[in-house]
């Protein structure tokens, strides 16, 4: 936990430097495959100081995150036999049990599982790497499409709040973001279920 707090503070410090935007791109990329701190932390901090650039920061987060998702897929697809020990030991959230569970989710509905992980605070890296491990259920095309949809919705939701309400929203998002995204995801799923049974 001490290490995670130090990483959290390290991510935040980039908002006070001239390198905040490239740092956001790199952290968004890394978080999709191995880094434990989500890019929202830095995106919110940057947007709080410059609300009119909120959607630009969201775009940076989304592009970096989708690129990182592709990298995660290739880790699972090509390197997992040799790299799994490293990830199980050093990357929080990635365990044999979590990867196996995600594989079961992919067997049932890969697209929905990927969208849920991309949109909500569920550790996305587990899903991107597992997508490569279970490539028989998840094509690279499916990963890219669902990552674009889920990650864009997530980061642009943050951007919308920051653009219209500015720094006043910073504390609210940091405190309630997980609850809000899970609630919205549930509403989306229920909407699809309702449509399925209505037609």
Torsion angles phi and psi, residue 133, rounded to 5: -60, -40
Is the model's pLDDT at 165 over the cut of 90? no
Per the structure, the complete domain to which residue 14 belongs is given by 2-198
Report pLDDT digits (tens) over 55-72. Answer: 999 999 999 999 999 999
Q: For residue 79, which of 128, 139, 30 has the smallest C-alpha distance?
A: 128
Alpha-carbon distance values, 99 to 76, 106, 124, 166, 180 (Å): 10, 10, 12, 38, 26
Report pLDDT digits (tens) over 18-51. Answer: 999 999 999 999 999 999 888 998 999 999 889 9
Torsion angles phi and psi, residue 15, rounded to 5: -65, -20
Q: How far apart are CA 8 and CA 129, in angstroms?
A: 23
Domain count, the chain: 1
Q: How many CA atoms, within 13 angstroms, populate the side-chain half-sphere of residue 151?
A: 33
Q: How far apart are CA 149 and CA 146, in angstroms?
A: 5
Mean pLDDT across the chain = 87
Q: How far apart are CA 64 and CA 48, in angstroms?
A: 20
pLDDT, position 199: 41
pLDDT, position 184: 64
Number of Cβ within a 10 Å radius of residue 108: 9
Is the model's pLDDT at 14 over the cut of 50? yes
Whole-structure pTM value? 0.86
């Amino acid at each position: 936990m001490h290490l995670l707090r130090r990483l959290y503070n390290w991510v935040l410090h980039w908002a006070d430097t001239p390198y905040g935007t490239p740092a956001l791109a790199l952290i968004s990329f890394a978080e999709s495959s191995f880094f434990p701190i989500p890019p929202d932390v830095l995106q919110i901090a940057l947007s709080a100081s410059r609300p009119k650039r909120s959607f630009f920061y969201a775009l940076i987060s989304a592009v970096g995150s989708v690129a990182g998702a592709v990298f995660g897929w290739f880790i699972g697809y090509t390197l997992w036999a040799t790299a799994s020990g490293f990830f199980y030991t050093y990357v929080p959230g990635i365990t044999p049990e979590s990867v196996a569970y995600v594989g079961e989710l992919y067997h049932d509905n890969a697209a929905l599982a990927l969208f849920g992980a991309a949109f909500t605070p569920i550790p996305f890296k587990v899903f991107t790497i597992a997508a490569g491990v279970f490539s028989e259920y998840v094509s690279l095309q499916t990963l890219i499409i669902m990552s674009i949809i889920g990650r864009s919705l997530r980061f642009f939701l943050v951007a919308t709040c920051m653009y219209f309400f500015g720094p006043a929203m910073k504390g609210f998002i940091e405190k309630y973001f997980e609850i809000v995204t899970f609630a919205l995801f549930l509403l989306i799923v229920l909407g699809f279920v309702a449509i399925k049974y209505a037609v």
